[in-house]
Amino acid sequence: MITQLLKDKLACPSCMGPLRFDNDSIKCLSCGAVYEVIDGIPIMLPADIKKQSDKESAFWEDYWGKTPMHDIAEVPKQADIISVTDHVVPLWDKYGKDCFFEAGCGTGRLLYLLAKKGINVIGYDNSPAALKYTARFLKAAGVSNYHLVCGDMRYLPFKDNTLGMIYGGGSIEHFDGQQKAIN
């Protein structure tokens, strides 16, 4: 099920048009593009990007299927995630509003720590398998204030000025066209 928070923020990644939400699909009311919803996760990839992504899907399904679940008790002690939260939390406290958006959320460790602070979090990744892993992890951790979207950073499916704070550490170097994503 797609949350009201996402319904209020999402737009067609191809044309930025308004959307109609059904249980298993999302349709753009402007260009007619249709996007799947898999396990409650909207797959907001433009058709040409989805074709490229489908080629990698088998690899990522296998990878994330074999990746062991994080030990929830250990996540707050992990040096790499501590350094990120030490940087991000003061920025959220100063500038954050409404929700925290992590582009390239991977395993969801940062989402977990911020959600535990009561912050609404949106995890965004181009891999449905990674997002399914993240959903399993966050559910196991008892987190409910999260929202997940599959998409490409160069074609963000969000209305302008609807994301409270955006963080994309360790993700932008994984694809070409970074300037488009930054813009």
Q: Is 144 among the domain residues?
A: yes
Give Cα separations from 152 to 44, 65, 103, 158, 177 (angstroms): 8, 21, 9, 11, 11
Residue 16 lies in a domain: no
- Domain-embedded: residue 31: no
Domain CATH code at residue 138: 3.40.50.150
> Hey, CA dihedral for 108, 119, 148, 14, is it positive or negative?
negative
Q: Domain for residue 118, yes or no?
A: yes
Residue 9 pLDDT greater than 90, yes or no: yes
Domain that includes residue 91, residue range: 40-182
Across the chain, what does the average pLDDT equal?
A: 87
167: pLDDT strictly greater than 70: yes
Q: Is residue 126 part of a domain?
A: yes
In a domain, 147, yes or no: yes
Do the beta carbons of residue 175 and residue 154 sit within 8 Å?
yes
Cβ 146 vs Cβ 121: under 8 Å: yes
**Quick one: average pLDDT of 25-51?**
90
**Contact (CB, 8 A) for 82 and 107:** no
Residue 116 lies in a domain: yes
pLDDT at 47: 81
Check residues 178 and 138 and name the one with the higher pLDDT.
Answer: 138
**Residue 68 — pLDDT band, cuts 50, 70, 90?**
confident
Q: What is the pLDDT of residues 126-159, one digit of tens each?
A: 888 899 999 999 999 999 999 999 998 889 999 9
Q: Select the highest-mean-pLDDT range: 2-16, 41-55, 94-108, 153-167.
A: 2-16
172 part of a folded domain: yes
| Mean of pLDDT values over 75-80 | 91
Angstrom distance (rounded) from CA 24 to CA 51: 19
User: Confidence class of residue 175 from pLDDT cuts 50, 70 and 90?
Assistant: low
**Whole-number pLDDT of residue 5:** 94
**Tally of domains within the chain:** 1
